[in-house]
Amino acid sequence: MHRITAETASGPVAFDAEGDKKLVLCIEDHGIDILHRCGGNARCTTCRVEIIHGDPGPIRDAEKAIMATKDDMTDHMRLSCQVRVIDDLHVRVINQASVKGIDAGPRPAHEDTP
Ligand code: FES
């Protein structure tokens, strides 16, 4: 288990998360309405989070490719649908359904998409 602290629109939320689980699912399963508009396929980037502290693990090709097309993504941001929890993390959730006024999107699968 790893300790996750997520900064949200309504303040910080801290919880324990299973190792190797997708970060976006950990966040959602603890009551935070994070956006994941493409269903976890590294296409929409709405699941982006800012990494404040901790090791989010390596960036794979699909994430690297979509991030390179987005001017508004900084080096401190990661796509939470592409991050497997391997460390305690302190993150800031950038997009929430309740803030944006849109549906969160289809729930990402536990498995990685090719
Ligand atoms: S990039 Fe779309 S849900 Fe992660």
Per residue in 9-28, pLDDT (tens digit) is 999 999 999 999 999 999 99
Q: How far apart are CA 99 and CA 20, in angstroms?
A: 28
Is 0.85 surpassed by the pTM of this model?
yes
**What domains, with CATH codes, occur in the chain?**
2-100 (3.10.20.30)
At residue 113 the predicted structure's pLDDT band, cuts being 50, 70 and 90, is: low
Nearest atom in ligand 1 to 43's CA = 1
Per residue in 94-105, pLDDT (tens digit) is 999 999 999 999
56 lines ligand 1 (CB under 6 A): no
42 lines ligand 1 (CB under 6 A): yes
The residue among 24, 18, 50 whose CA lies nearest residue 37 is 24
36 lines ligand 1 (CB under 6 A): yes
Counting ligand 1 atoms within 8 A of each CB, the residue from 32, 33, 41 with the most, and so the one to mutate, is 41
